[in-house]
Every structure is written in structure tokens, then in C-alpha cells.
Structure 1
Amino acid sequence: MTEKMLKFVSLEKKMPPKRAADNRRQDFNEIYDEFDQDRAKEQASRCSQCGIPFCQVHCPVQNNIPDWLMMTAAGRLEEAYEVSQATNNFPEICGRICPQDRLCEGSCVIEKGFNSVTIGAVEKYITDTAWENGWVKPTKPVVEREQSVGVIGAGPGGLAAADQLRKKGYQVHVYDRYDRAGGLMIYGIPGFKLEKEVVERRSRLLQDSGITFHLNFEVGRDATLAELRERHDAIVIATGVYKSRDIAVPGSGLGGIVPALEYLTASNRKGLGDDVPAFEDGTLNATGKNVVVIGGGDTAMDCVRTAVRQGAKSVKCLYRRDRKNMPGSLREVVNAEEEGVEFVWLSAPKAFLGDTSVTSVRAIDMHLGIPDSTGRQVPVEIDGSEHDIPCDLAIKALGFDAEDIPTLFNEPKLDVSRWGTISVNFKTAMTNLDGVFAVGDIVRGASLVVWAIRDGRDAAASVHQYLEKRAASEKRALAS
């Protein structure tokens, strides 16, 4: 039965059923169940089909959201999938991990008083249904081209670029230093947000499409950037940023103080069945410990919720601003609170205490002062408010910076910005090296998966234009 649209006036917003907190604390499975067909059609029918779809405007990949919502409401799911995947290489992943409350759903015009359309959950339902019904198929290019492109990095930006270039018929080779494709989608994001089979299924599809993966391959060790340029007609760098930001307070060198990515990677590797000595010996394992996570972004939310599932004695999140001003998804904060995480708002670490390993964090209360040049209120310490928080494992989730790029790639001629990221022409995504492009976090700094996908798609279009022009130039040279 086809659902009529504009039902937001009579139908409440509903997410798919969420597993009880006591139940989901016991494993790393995703916390939301699937919509059934009737619920997905009902929720899709709440869309107002507005003339200017702000949900689409504020989606980094410009998804045609009203169109595939209308098709879902009409039961035309295969068409809905075709529209959804036309602008997004990984809609089943974005449906799970995008902070919709800050992007499409947060921009929905019916949000005021009625609550926004459940966009992310419907997107996930559409694509999971497509996989179940065999509608998702490997790419078969109309024409095979002799030109090859090397993509460095098998994260979302690199894989999106590789997928788009393969659709054009290029011979695509993806190089990654890890033993699995997916980057942070495999090793950084916990399974309760993104089960690993979802990523591995997509990687297998790309391989079946004719993309060649070179895993456990580190540029700078197994080949220099210059050597890869000799092998390929163009290069796309999409390595992401992995260098954790540190905090300069007394006691930072004590044992039991670890970067967020090391902690999350150990947990994800353990879940994938790998041998992880640092997990087994307790170095990167929260079991039975008082855990303090420092930071307020999505990575901090991943850490606190992982610690809960590992059986931590207590889990606290220290953030120097308040709930309203935190950068992470508020939906994730609610999930964490349900699972037993305590948020210590307006609090920042002053020192780590202990002899050889951390035993407590000395924190100080903050208040929000006048806004800075960005418009955000500046946190200011409250004198005399220091207090100690018991801590056996402190996790620093303060963001990520780029590594020393020229040294990493053994290419001193590659230009970098003053932030340490790769400098590019923002119209073409090309670096100062001819035929070398860069996308994602390695250019824009630590950001969202969906932005990396957008960058990868844009760079693939620029690579195609570059190679077409070069082929035409070579053809004219031969003719003359």
C-alpha cells in the first residue's frame, strides 16, 4: 500500500526499536533494530516534500533525500536505492554513523514542533534491503581504459574515489598499510555503531568490481610516492590523519594514559579475532577499571561506550564545555548516559596523579566566558575548584593531526599547509605535484566519513578530467 506524504502532522517521529541498555552493554552489536517495511514507509511518509529541501542542502554528498523518501513511502524500494546510491558510495554506512542530528535531520523544515523525518534510519533500511534482495551489484564499466590510478589509503575517501574511477573504466589500485580495507570504519569506529561485516561486504564488492587492493603496503616503506607515480597515470592520496593530539599537564607520562585511537583499534581488532597483546595484558583494556575519557567529540563517545562494554568499573567523560556546546552527536550522549556513562561537564584535567601508573585525574571546574573569534564561549578555570577523580585508565580523545607528510611519503617536494595537512587546489584537489591529488582528512583535517566520501567523489571527477585532457594532448602530439 502506498503511503501519502506530509504525514508529519498526524504521525509521530519514531526511530527503529532500540535494544535495552542492560542488554546492549553486554556486546558490540548495533543498538538499533531494523525498521520493518510498514514502519519504514510510515516514517518516510512524514516528509513534507518541501520546495527547498534543506536536508539535501546540508548533506555533504547532496543526497536526493525527498525523492528516495517518497519512493520508500510508495513501496518503490529498488528505485529508492538507485537514487540513494547515485550520490553516495556507501549509503548503508552513512545511514548508520552520520550525525544526522547535526546534518540532514537537524536541517529538516518540519523539525520545529513536529520533530524531523527519520532520514538516517530509512537510508539504512533502503540499502540493507537492497543488499538482501541482490540489487547491489559489482561495477561493470561501459569501457575499459588502459590508464591506471593509484589510491593511497583504503578509508572512506580513498574507497569512494576508487569506486568512482572504476565506474569510468580506469584500472584502480588501492594501497593501504593495514591488513583490511576500510580505514577508521574498520579500526576506529566500534561495532555497536557500525558492524564490521557491513564494511567488509562493501570492500568485497569493490574487489569484485575489478579494483586491486594492496594491503599491508606502506608508502615510504614498500614504495616511495615517486615510485608509485611511475607505476600509475595519476595518484590519489587519502590516508587520513592519525596523530593523536596530546595534553600538556603534569603526569602525562604515567602508565595507563593512552590515545583514543590506540584504545579503539585494540578493541576493534579483538572483536575481529586478531591477537592483541596490549588488550590481553590489560594495557588497552578497561575491564574492572575506573576509566576517564577526556574530550567531547564523537571519538570520546566511542571510547566511553566501548569501556562500558569491556566491563569498566566506572566510566566518566570530562569535557571543558557544557552539554549544549559539545561537538559530538547529542544522540550519542543520550545512548552513553543510558548505558551508565557519567558526564562531568565544565571540567578539565590539570594533572595526572600516580607513581608509575595513573591513579587519579586532578580536574578543575570551568565556566564559559566571553565568545572568541569563532563565536564559541571560551572555557575559564574557576580558582580553588580542583578535585581528584579516581582513574586507572585515562583515554585522550582530543582530536587528530596529520603526521609529517613529506617524511612519511619520502617526498620532500610535496607541499603541506601550516596545519601539516596536504595543500591542494581546492577546485581540482590536485597537489603541487602534477597528477597527484589528495582528499579527505589529510587535506581538511579530522572530519566526518561523509565529508571524506564527498571529497573522494569530487577528486575522482578531477582525475578523470585530468587524464582525459592528457590523453587528448598525447593524441594531438602523435597526430602532428
Structure 2
Amino acid sequence: MAERMLKFVTTPRAMPEKRAAEARAGDFHEIYADFIDAKAREQASRCSQCGVPFCQTHCPLHNNIPDWLRMTAEGRLEEAYRLSQATNPMPEICGRICPQDRLCEGSCVIEQSGHGTVTIGAVEKYLTDKAWEQGWVAPLVAGEARGQSVGVVGAGPAGLAAAERLREFGYAVTVYDRHDRAGGLMVYGIPGFKLEKDVVERRTRRLSEGGVEFRLGFEVGRDASLADLRQRHDAVLIATGVYKARDLELPGSGSAGVAPALAYLIASNRAEFGEAVPADLDARGRHVVVVGGGDTAMDCVRTAIRQGAASVTCLYRRDRANMPGSVREVANAEEEGVLFEWLAAPKAITGDALMAAGVHAARMRLAAPDATGRQAPEEIPGGDFEVKADLVIKALGFDPEDLPDAFAAPDLGVTRWGTLKTDFRTLATTVPGVFAAGDIVRGASLVVWAVRDGRDAAEAMRRYLESQAAGAAARIAAE
């Protein structure tokens, strides 16, 4: 092992080749090429095999990263893949879209020592793409039939992760989703230059071929109530995510030309399936301003570039160091021609009700830290400025929809933030037999956390269903 590993001192960090900004800004294909075999082995060999693997502990799924890096360096690729997917049902997706700079790679010991992190995400992507290419990805095999069924509301990462695990346990699983394709935000929210759609589709196809039933274009509250689903199934999982956009409460925010981020991204992603982009959501030839600083804002600015916008500006009220979006995504956006206005906040949308014409913004500064250490932005007097814009995209984050009302389930408890209230240990909601997982419980978060929550929910539901089955058997025996 020592001969093949710990090469971080002599071997520099290297990512897969990135397409030139001018070339990639004209399409929605992924921007990184694949590692060649030798390069993947070389980069995996940089792992220090440290005694306390912080990369693993800071991964929400606790992937056994050091071991599959060692196997990759040794050329044991199939073994490495099988180890990586043992804890992660979507390793090629997480390898593409996880903010590794904030999770595993950001916690890498050799990164802390100044040698540059191991390129964990790129190796993970390489391994799973190689597995699909070589036929190492095994079909989903259902466990012995238990005679019980589960309904999963939401075909996003939490719902799909739970559905796979529940099917492996032997339950009949039906996934309901209001969209016409499974995948949730992985299909309609995340642009193709970060996650091409066939990568998601082959995962959902594997679930379908393994016996998971998909009911698409099905909206709970319209096509059935939550009570109806409880009648159909022995247990129900709510994994809807959070889709309600936070609004800009500014003068002119209701003008034509002001759009929520998700509506904009869904329209663009639908175009990848051959649908036309609505004229009011097409950035071609327009001056675009995106308000926000998270990963969704980065998706919007980079999408606008690819649609052929005349200019793209991102307004964020804090500075670069305090931006919540991935550092890597910010760098990619800058390379592609996005202008960032740091420490800037909108005060009004100019123009008229028929069409926005610009954004009236204020210069900001960070105040002294509060008790939590967070510096709140405050306006600099006399620092107002104008940005030309005929398409303003609101990327301020997402809140939960009112599910008790939408699902006709007034007894479905929510927190003061509107997320579903669940028992911390069992993940059960206030409605018997109904569980919840993912963003609808924790708030808007990462795909990898949704996957973790979905798998945890599946385990909790298995325990519940086994207790229900044991109770029914005891009652029959007593009769």
C-alpha cells in the first residue's frame, strides 16, 4: 500500500480537463472531461490514508472514501466502485454536484497541510461512469415480498433513495410525482452543464426495472388526498422538497420581466428535452440580473450565459468570502463572463408594470459581528447605483409549501418554518403511518443530505412496518 499511496508530496493535485469557457458557454454539456484511467489512479494515490479520515466523517453519507481511493490507486476499480455505492445509491450524481469544497475535499487532511486536496468528487464520478460502461452496476433486486406497500410522494433524491432501499427490503413501492419525469430538481432544477439528464434517467430506469412503480403527473391534493394514499398503502413517505420561492419585497418586483429562479431553470431544462423556452423566460439578447448568492443563483447566471444573454450580473449583499454558493461554481461563472457585484443589494426594480428596465441597487458593507459571529450587511449612504436589466431572476432561496392545506391534511404538523414536524428518532410525522424526509424536513439543502435522509427514512419505515405486521399476526393468533 505504501508504494502506491501518500504521493501528495510528489504528485500535484489535478482535476479532469475543463473545457474552455468560450466553448462551454455555448451549450449545456458538462464542463469537465472524464479522467483517463492512469490519471484517476495517479490522483487517488495522493490520499494520505490518514488515521482519522475527516473526508469520511464530513460526508453526510459517511462514504468509505480512503478505502475506495486506495483500491482505485491499485487498479481494483470494480471493488472500488462496489465500496463507493455501498453507502451511496447515486455516487455518479454526488460526484458531479456535491459541493466537495465544502464537504469531503474541504476536510481533506492534505488540503489543510497546503498540498491541495485529493480530487475525491472527480474520482467518484470516474468510478461510477466506468461501472456503467463496464456493466458493473447490478440491477435492483427486490427482497422477499412482505405483502405490504409504501407510497412515496416526491421523485427527488430523498424519495428515490428511500424507494430503492424499501424495494430491497421487499416492499411494493409506488412513487408519486407532479412532474412528467422522475428526478425532481436533479432533472428540472440543476442545469445540464452540472448534471446531464441521461445520468439521472439511467438511475430512475434501474428503479423502474427493479419493480418500483412511478405515477408521474400525479399531484397529491389534486389527484388524491393524503388520506387516500394512506388507504392505498401501509405507510407513506413525504419527500416533496421545498419549492416555494422567497420573494423580492421591493417596488416594481411584480413587473413583467421579474421571474423566480425555479421557473426559469425548469423552463431551460425542459428545453433540453426538446420543448420551447417561453419567451418571458428566455435570456437570449437580454440584460440579466440575478439576485442571490447560493448555488441556485450560480445555476441561473451560468444558464443565462448559455442562452445568449447580452450581459449577466449577479447581485449579492455580502462579499465573496461570505457567499454561500460553491467557490468552484463562482469561479466557473466568472470564467464564462458573469459580472459579480459584491456587497450590493437591490432597492427597487425600475421600468414599469409591462417590463422591467433595470435594478436600482445600494452598496453595502458588513457591520460588526453579532453574538453568533455573523456580520450583517448594512447600506452605505449615498452608494446607490443602477444596473440595466430586462430580466431579473429572484434566487433568494426556497421555503416549504403549505402541505397541510395542499394535501387536505390539517393534522399534518409543521414547524414554525413551515417544514414538516417529525420525530427525530423515527422520522414519523404527526399523522400515523406517514413519514417525511429530505428538504421538506430540514429545509432547502443539498442532494447528498436528501439521499442520506431518504435512506434513514427507509430504515425507520421498515421498523414501523415490521411492528405493524407483527401486531397483526399477534391479533390473528389471539383470535
TM over 0.5: yes
Counterpart residue number, 1:65 = 65
Is the 1:3–1:42 Cα contact (8 Å) retained in structure 2? no
Q: Distance in 1 between matches of 2:379 and 2:475?
A: 68
Counterpart residue number, 2:390 = 392
1:475 aligns with 2:473: yes
Q: Distance in 1 between matches of 2:72 and 2:2?
A: 9
Identity %: 66
Counterpart residue number, 1:462 = 460
Q: Which amino acid aligns with 1:398?
A: L
Counterpart residue number, 2:43 = 43
Q: Distance in 1 between matches of 2:373 and 2:155?
A: 36
Q: Distance in 2 between matches of 1:2 and 1:479?
A: 61
Counterpart residue number, 2:289 = 292
1:333 aligns with 2:334: no
Q: Distance in 2 between matches of 1:3 and 1:93?
A: 31
| Superposed counterparts of 1:100-249, under 5 Å | 100-111=100-111, 112-249=113-250
Deviation at 1:141? Answer: 2.7
Q: Distance in 2 between matches of 1:71 and 1:163?
A: 26
Deviation at 1:472? Answer: 1.3
Q: Distance in 1 between matches of 2:205 and 2:413?
A: 34
Counterpart residue number, 1:415 = 413
1:369 aligns with 2:367: yes
Deviation at 1:113? Answer: 1.1
Counterpart residue number, 2:252 = 251
| Superposed counterparts of 1:243-322, under 5 Å | 243-274=244-275, 276=276, 279-280=277-278, 282-322=279-319
Deviation at 1:137? Answer: 2.0
- Match for 1:351 among 338, 348, 364? 348
Deviation at 1:474? Answer: 1.5
Is the 1:3–1:74 Cα contact (8 Å) retained in structure 2? no
1:19 aligns with 2:16: no
Per-residue displacement from partner, 1:162-221 (whole Å, max 9, x unpaired)? 001011111000000000000000000000000000000101000011100000000011
Q: Which amino acid aligns with 1:88?
A: N
Give me the TM-score of the superposition, normalised by structure 2. Answer: 0.98
Deviation at 1:372? Answer: 3.1
Aligned length: 476
Q: Distance in 1 between matches of 2:99 and 2:370?
A: 25
Is the 2:150–2:235 Cα contact (8 Å) retained in structure 1? yes
Q: Distance in 1 between matches of 2:415 and 2:255?
A: 33
Per-residue displacement from partner, 1:36-84 (whole Å, max 9, x unpaired)? 1000000001001111100000001110000110111111111111111
Per-residue displacement from partner, 1:337-372 (whole Å, max 9, x unpaired)? 000001000000011100221111001000000223
Is the 1:2–1:74 Cα contact (8 Å) retained in structure 2? no
Q: Distance in 1 between matches of 2:210 and 2:76?
A: 26
- Give the match's secondary structure for 2:254: coil
Give me the TM-score of the superposition, normalised by structure 1. Answer: 0.98
Deviation at 1:326? Answer: 0.3
Gapped runs of 5+ residues in structure 1?
A: none
Q: Distance in 1 between matches of 2:370 and 2:438?
A: 27
CA RMSD of aligned residues (A): 1.1
Q: Distance in 2 between matches of 1:59 and 1:5?
A: 21
Q: Distance in 1 between matches of 2:408 and 2:67?
A: 47
1:323 aligns with 2:327: no
Tell me: CA distance 1:347–1:329, structure 2 relative to 1, closer, same or farther (3 Å): same
- Give the match's secondary structure for 1:283: helix
Is the 1:2–1:75 Cα contact (8 Å) retained in structure 2? no
Deviation at 1:3? Answer: 6.6
